[in-house]
Chain A
């Protein structure tokens, strides 16, 4: 497999959760071949990996474990250094620990925990379009712009151990990490596949520059 071959497929992890069709649709729009990966052994055939997900954190990790995805995903990200994009819950699962549901250990790819927004003056879930602020403290592999709106829908957020892993912040009562990144691994709290032009462009950039 040649990682620079744009015709090689991107692998979308199918662990029984989430709106996979939307991610496939975005890939199709970008003329990026994509396959659903149900068998962890097939991760080897993908030039990049997308981990989507719409579910609770503990439920998501249980599904990854029961299908044997946890170690193969860690290997693909850390040893094979495959470009890796986590979306929404898929971003949160990159953390060490998530408190949602009964709590669960995550994939441990980017140090941090996943916490619930505090109830109070803010409505939870955080649903709708909100803008990002690029972290000036680190070089960013993606050409992100300040003030661009993306579509969010979540009650929990990624709390990174190191601010250096944050590519962009978003404000919702508190400042939370809306895009995280370390080496070949990127995670977006929002849904780029549902964020119109800005989201499709971000995915194009991921396919084009990181992969």
Chain B
């Protein structure tokens, strides 16, 4: 039986791991290479890295960190992949098929494309044709507003006219093999997942949906699987700031009768 996946997400900004809240207010807390030991210990179902560095920003603010270009991110990815025998998904700042190819060549199994796919939808087809749909994950950032849910691109800065369901369906028709659905207004709040939009998108597309944004308690993961047909749940902060969170979350899901892969330590 196919298991429900539990996926830690790590946000990279200027080469450092940050915590994010509502897509602004970023706090650095780790060096991605130093985090490797913990990542290996987790033995998680999958890892998602999203590079949320904004173009040009590093030159202004963080010149000292010397992480300026995508090639530095590729170095980080290569170092991570050497030690992690689990699926790695990488996203952020992918605007053409060659950038996607560089991530895959350096250890990513799948890429998440968000703004780049919106600007140029044919990018979805190009990546799917070259690497297969299973490697082409569409990232959708959605925010609950007075009039309903609205999709934003450009890291939450730019609203688009398409609904999350319409954009997801269009992307799947173009070749997207998975949807990474992130809630902007729940991001980093710990207020629980936005079940309504997750359920709507998951029931509208035939591909797996990864739900992200808002996990504050382990029971939040179970809620997603109880009330929606999402295939996976993802979270950042809860795994980064709670002791043994990954193991405990797995245990709780399993005890609640959710089909998850048992936790094993990597020897």
Q: Which of B3, B82, B83, B264 is in CB contact (< 8 Å) with A130?
A: B3
Is A26 a contact of B85 with CB atoms below 8 Å? Answer: yes
Residues on B with beta carbons closer than 8 Å to the beta carbon of A96: none
Is A127 a contact of B231 with CB atoms below 8 Å? Answer: yes
Question: Is the CB of A123 closer than 8 A to any CB of chain B?
Answer: yes
Is B108 a contact of A129 with CB atoms below 8 Å? Answer: no
Question: Is the CB of A31 closer than 8 A to any CB of chain B?
Answer: no
A129 to B3, CA, bound (A): 6
A55 to B136, CA, bound (A): 11
Question: Is the CB of A38 closer than 8 A to any CB of chain B?
Answer: no
Residues on A with beta carbons closer than 8 Å to the beta carbon of B240: none
Question: Is the CB of A144 closer than 8 A to any CB of chain B?
Answer: no
Is B208 a contact of A196 with CB atoms below 8 Å? Answer: no
Question: Is the CB of A35 closer than 8 A to any CB of chain B?
Answer: no
Residues on B with beta carbons closer than 8 Å to the beta carbon of A125: 132-134, 177-178, 207-208
A193 to B82, CA, bound (A): 11
Q: Type the 1/0 row for B28-43, where 1 means its CB is closer than 8 Å to any CB of A.
A: 0000000000000001
Binds A, one of B9-17, B60-68, B99-107: B99-107
Which residue of A is nearest B103, CB measured?
A19
Q: Which of A29, A89, A151, A152 is in CB contact (< 8 Å) with B86?
A: A151
Question: Is the CB of A149 closer than 8 A to any CB of chain B?
Answer: yes
Residues on A with beta carbons closer than 8 Å to the beta carbon of B208: 123, 125, 127-128
Q: Type the 1/0 row for B1-33, where 1 means its CB is closer than 8 Å to any CB of A.
A: 111110000000000000000000000000000
Is A129 a contact of B45 with CB atoms below 8 Å? Answer: yes
Which residue of A is nearest B177, CB measured?
A125
Question: Is the CB of B267 closer than 8 A to any CB of chain A?
Answer: yes
Is B132 a contact of A21 with CB atoms below 8 Å? Answer: no
Is B3 a contact of A149 with CB atoms below 8 Å? Answer: yes
Residues on A with beta carbons closer than 8 Å to the beta carbon of B107: 19, 21-22, 25
Is B3 a contact of A128 with CB atoms below 8 Å? Answer: yes
CB distance from A173 to the nearest CB of B (A): 9
Q: Which of A22, A26, A129 is in CB contact (< 8 Å) with B5?
A: A129
Is A199 a contact of B85 with CB atoms below 8 Å? Answer: yes
Is A19 a contact of B264 with CB atoms below 8 Å? Answer: no
A123 to B130, CA, bound (A): 21
Known: A123-B208, A125-B178, A151-B87. A21 touches B264 (CB 8 A): no
Q: CB within 8 Å of A: which of B147-195?
A: 177-178
Question: Is the CB of A182 closer than 8 A to any CB of chain B?
Answer: no
Is A21 a contact of B81 with CB atoms below 8 Å? Answer: yes
Residues on A with beta carbons closer than 8 Å to the beta carbon of B45: 128-129
Pick the most buried of A26, A29, A123, A149: most chain B CB atoms within 10 A of its CB. A123
CB distance from A64 to the nearest CB of B (A): 16
Residues of A within 8 A of B (CB): 19-22, 25-26, 28-29, 54-56, 59, 89, 119, 123-131, 149, 151-155, 171-172, 191, 193-197, 199-200
Residues of B within 8 A of A (CB): 1-5, 43, 45-46, 78, 81-83, 85-87, 104-110, 129-135, 177-178, 206-208, 231-232, 261-262, 264, 266-267
List 24 interface pairs A-B (beta carbons < 8 Å), by A numbering: A19-B109, A20-B105, A22-B81, A22-B109, A25-B85, A26-B85, A54-B109, A54-B131, A54-B134, A123-B207, A125-B132, A128-B2, A128-B4, A128-B232, A129-B2, A130-B2, A131-B1, A151-B86, A151-B87, A153-B109, A155-B133, A194-B86, A194-B87, A195-B85
- 8 A-B pairs with the lowest CB-CB distances in the bound complex, closest first: A125-B134, A129-B261, A129-B3, A153-B134, A130-B2, A149-B261, A125-B177, A21-B107
Give 19 A-B pairs besides A123-B206, A124-B207 with Cβ atoms closer than 8 angstroms: A19-B104, A22-B109, A25-B85, A28-B82, A54-B131, A54-B132, A59-B130, A127-B208, A128-B45, A129-B2, A130-B1, A149-B261, A153-B134, A155-B134, A155-B177, A172-B2, A194-B85, A194-B109, A196-B264
